Copies of this chain bind each other. A is one copy, B any other.
Amino acid sequence: MSAAWLAVDWGSTNVRLWALDRDGEVMARRALSRGSDRLTPADYEPVLLTLAGKLLPEAGRVPAVLCGMAGARQGWREAPYRAVPCNPAGGETVSVPTRDPRLDVRIVPGLCRSEPPDVMRGEETQIAGLLALEPVVAGSACLPGTHAKWARVSGGQVVGIATALIGELFALLSSRSVLRHSLGEGWDEAAFAEGVSRSLGAPEALVAALFEPRARSLIDGLSGDAARAFLSGLLIGAELTAMRRFWEEGQVTIIGQTALAGRYETALAAQGVAARRVEVEAVTLAGLRAHHARLWGDGT
């Protein structure tokens, strides 16, 4: 059976596709490690055709709704950012001509903010899905990852966004800096909690505290597991410090079921904030469904 439409989340490192039937139910899932970081514009259509395969009909035209880095300036085709405040499920999508006549490709726009400057691309669709599934009156979404994103939501609109390079900083410091000599592969909850509270208590000391996992392993025999967890705590604590306006008031929703997302939940709980967790796939798909319904009706 061929799909009624395709939902696609095209990230920097991976691309994920869901095939939906006429009732809007997922009939197939596909994924490839063909993220936009390694693609030129001419690569996208062949990758999409490989992913969709026999889910495409022999004749007829199937909508493909894409979010993420396919819409970046160096992606398939640029889908300009929309300024917040705005409804994250709205905005003009960008049509991309294809050689294969069976594809009707639309890329959804990202979001931007001018003061202070910030952008997001892909996460806005997850937030749109969150709002579609469970309308939030006033609160924030936290999306942990390589570039952690925060969004303030009010009255069905995204009213503020911010980014922290925390995931990328942790990866670079733990694998490529001098700290790598002192870090293990395991975990230590107490050391994580200590790192979080150190950063929240003394945000001005962050860049000095970052050397501590090394110094403590040299002179105090700090374990590799504790050093790793302490570094993670310092960085997530520094992020919570920078993002305080997002979590001090209203419901906080963490999008993600990863171990990393769990650490954000723990760190927020230590500040007295009971965040809830939702699954990335559920909200991504709900966001792409909202765009599909807006462009082609809801299929009923």
Q: Which residues of A contact B (CB under 8 A)?
A: 73, 81, 112, 114, 116-119, 146-147, 162-166, 168-169, 172-173, 176-179, 203-212, 214-216, 218-220, 235, 238-239, 241-244
Contact = CB atoms under 8 A, between A and B. Distances in A.
A151 to B, nearest CB: 13
B173 A219 contact: no
Contacts of A147: 178, 211
A276 to B, nearest CB: 23
B166 A207 contact: yes
A219 B169 contact: no
A176 B176 CA distance: 10
A244 B203 CA distance: 13
A203 B242 CA distance: 9
Contacts of A112: 215, 218-219
B206 A116 contact: no
19 contacts: A112-B215, A112-B218, A114-B219, A117-B212, A117-B216, A119-B218, A147-B178, A147-B211, A164-B207, A164-B211, A165-B173, A165-B177, A165-B179, A168-B178, A176-B176, A204-B244, A207-B235, A207-B242, A208-B242
A238 B206 contact: yes
A243 B114 CA distance: 31
B164 A116 contact: no
Contacts of A212: 116-118
Nearest to A244: B204
**Interface secondary structure of A, over-half rule:** helix
A146 B177 CA distance: 10
Given A147-B178, A173-B172, A206-B238, A215 B119 contact: yes
A177 B166 contact: no
A165 B81 contact: no
Given A116-B212, A173-B172, A176-B176, A207 B73 contact: no
Contact of A219 (B119, B177, B210): B119
A163 B116 CA distance: 30
Contacts of A164: 207-208, 210-211
Given A203-B206, A205-B242, A206-B242, 6 more contacts: A117-B219, A147-B211, A162-B208, A165-B179, A206-B207, A207-B242
A117 B116 CA distance: 35
A120 to B, nearest CB: 10
Nearest to A181: B74
A42 to B, nearest CB: 20
A27 to B, nearest CB: 35
* A-B complex: 4 closest residue pairs judged by Cβ atoms: A203-B204, A208-B242, A163-B211, A117-B215
Contacts of A116: 208-209, 212, 215
Contacts of A220: 114, 117
A68 to B, nearest CB: 14
Contacts of A114: 219-220
